[in-house]
Structure 1
Amino acid sequence: MTVDSWRLRIQHRTGFDYAGPVSSSYNEARMWPRNEARQAVLDARVEVWPPARTYRYEDYWGTVVTAFDVHARHEALTVTATSTVETLPPGDLISAGEGPSWDALELPEAVDRWYELLVPSPRTGLDDELRGIVADIRGSHATPYLAALAVCEFVRGEVTYQPGATGVQSDALHAWAQRKGVCQDISHLTVGMLREMGLPARYVSGYLHPMPSAAIGESLVGQSHAWVEWWVGRWTAFDPTNGVPVGERHVVVGRGREYGDVPPLKGVYAGPKSTGQGVEVTITRLR
């Protein structure tokens, strides 16, 4: 049996413009893809302008962080991450009859092990209406795995994907109230509902190639993307925005409780206010 892997080259450029000269800034970039079972990083680099010495480490959640300070006066900051990643088709979903039971997920050892991924975070909290919906979905599915898929289907059916509908500070309840949002919002809502149901769930940040039938060598405008993973004896990844298992078009950068754990670029600086942040992602299928 042959496995149709993809090879993707990703260029992600982002940064800040300021209203005047900034004397110094201290920054963290989470733009370096992970090496793991379903993807291999063949090449990666992160470049900074104005030039600065960078160093890398893995944070608490296992995300590669590129940290750097800029002490030259500057009115703009640009970070460009370029990587080549080999990816595999979907392969971590389980069959309907597999995975732990509801009772197994409620055992103290399971709750203690995944406690941080079972409690609400600032962007994943729910209201009484959503908690009631979660109870209904859980009650109508025999296994946690089937209930998790039902949550993804429910969110995708209720919340319309609409670029620009929300900002990075929005949360699950905001997206639910207006029934529209971006992948970040859809993932926050899904994660919140999975946790309310008793499933350990985490938010995943990365990239998505926009075309399932991409031509080799064609460069396309891609996107930073977010999806979810839940634990049912092993971690299972699913993209609720697109209603598909995570596969060869997805590239993982980081995981955490929510967006606040994995922002592509954040920092502090001394100087006038920021006038905006630009983001450009270009993805090319090489194979």
Structure 2
Amino acid sequence: MTVGSWRLKIRHQTGFTYAGNVASSYNEARMSPRNEARQAVLEARVEVWPSARTYRYEDYWGTVVTAFDVHTAHDSLQVTAISTVETLGPGDQLATNDGIGWAELRGPESLDRWYELLLPTPRTALDEELTGLAESVRDAQPTPHAAAMALCEQVRDEVEYASGATGVQTDAVQAWRQRKGVCQDISHLVVGLLRTVGIPARYVSGYLHPAPDAAIGDSVVGQSHAWVEWWVGRWTAFDPTNGVPVGERHVVVGRGREYGDVPPLKGVYAGPANTGQGVEVTITRLR
């Protein structure tokens, strides 16, 4: 597969409104892309209103966190992340029979190394029906990588992408039963299925440019996006919602066990009720 490269500018604005003045708030934003093998970050800044001093660190999973406290009275909070990233296409993909085999994957070295990424979480835990599905797919495939690809295909065939069909608290079983969900739900389902058959898997959050043939210079309404990675001797990234390898349209922000490890904005505050959260993502292909 030919490796292409894009340069993307991303503007992600989010925040909260409150029913009255909040006395103080303590917040974490995970909205800054990472420098890594298939993407280079040329610019990344996070702006906060009301104005607050920010500091950055990497969390346990390697995600860049911008932390800040606001101690002046405010009835809304706004966070804007602006970044410019150069991305590469999918590059070399594993063939169906590539990667380590089932015996090596089940060995003590692999189990110890990836223990945390083999355990279910609240959003990825499966019921008896889904466990049986995962095991039947596993038994029909010659390699862990082949099983992972087959599970992605199964979920994409069965679960319809439907914007607004679920919320951030929806878990994999709920999405499966209604056969509808968004990228977060589809990724949680795939992660849960992979872990059930012993394949280490992690949830990835970031951005996706919606147009494969995007014109240079045009700004479009983009989206926060989620996909998966699994380990079969090396990490392999795949977007099960769209049925494609992760490539030049994808920008990685964070990784974890599930969405709860990588929310774009979270915090605690003292004051009246939160009355809503707004999100706006604009993506421009620069080249």
Q: Same fold (TM over 0.5)?
A: yes
2:64 corresponds to? 64
1:92-107 to structure 2, matched below 5 A, reads 92-107=92-107
Query: How far 1:2 moved relative to its partner?
Result: 7.7
- The AA in structure 1 aligned to 2:281 is V
Secondary structure at 1:192 match in 2: helix
Cα-to-partner distance string for 1:217-263 (whole Å, 9 max, x where unaligned): 00000000000000011000000000000000000000000000000
TM-score, with length taken from structure 2 = 0.99
Q: Please say if residues 41 and 84 of structure 1, whose CA atoms lie closer than 8 Å, have aligned partners that are also in contact.
A: yes
1:232 corresponds to? 232
Runs of 5+ unmatched residues, structure 2: none
The alignment of Structure 1 onto Structure 2 pairs a total of residues equal to: 287
Moved over 6 A (4+): none
- Aligned-pair identity (%): 76
1:184 corresponds to? 184
Distance 2:112 2:278 in 1: 40
Runs of 5+ unmatched residues, structure 1: none
Residue 111 of structure 1 pairs with residue 108 of structure 2: no
2:282 corresponds to? 282
2:145 corresponds to? 145
- The AA in structure 2 aligned to 1:51 is S
Cα-to-partner distance string for 1:17-59 (whole Å, 9 max, x where unaligned): 0000000000000000000000000001000000000000000
**Aligned CA distance change for structure 1 residues 3 and 181 (closer, same or farther; 3 Å):** closer
Distance 1:266 1:92 in 2: 36
Secondary structure at 2:187 match in 1: helix
- The AA in structure 2 aligned to 1:14 is T
Distance 1:194 1:208 in 2: 23
Distance 2:157 2:52 in 1: 46
- The AA in structure 1 aligned to 2:52 is A
Distance 2:80 2:30 in 1: 11
Secondary structure at 2:266 match in 1: strand
- The AA in structure 1 aligned to 2:146 is L
Secondary structure at 2:145 match in 1: helix
Query: How far 1:92 moved relative to its partner?
Result: 5.0
Distance 1:2 1:236 in 2: 17
Q: Please say if residues 57 and 66 of structure 1, whose CA atoms lie closer than 8 Å, have aligned partners that are also in contact.
A: yes
Secondary structure at 2:186 match in 1: helix
1:97-246 to structure 2, matched below 5 A, reads 97-246=97-246
Secondary structure at 2:81 match in 1: strand
Query: How far 1:194 moved relative to its partner?
Result: 0.3
Query: How far 1:170 moved relative to its partner?
Result: 0.8
- The AA in structure 2 aligned to 1:182 is V
Secondary structure at 1:138 match in 2: helix
Q: Please say if residues 188 and 203 of structure 1, whose CA atoms lie closer than 8 Å, have aligned partners that are also in contact.
A: yes
1:26 corresponds to? 26
Distance 2:2 2:269 in 1: 51
Query: How far 1:98 moved relative to its partner?
Result: 1.6
Cα-to-partner distance string for 1:44-94 (whole Å, 9 max, x where unaligned): 100000000000000000000000000010000000000000000012521
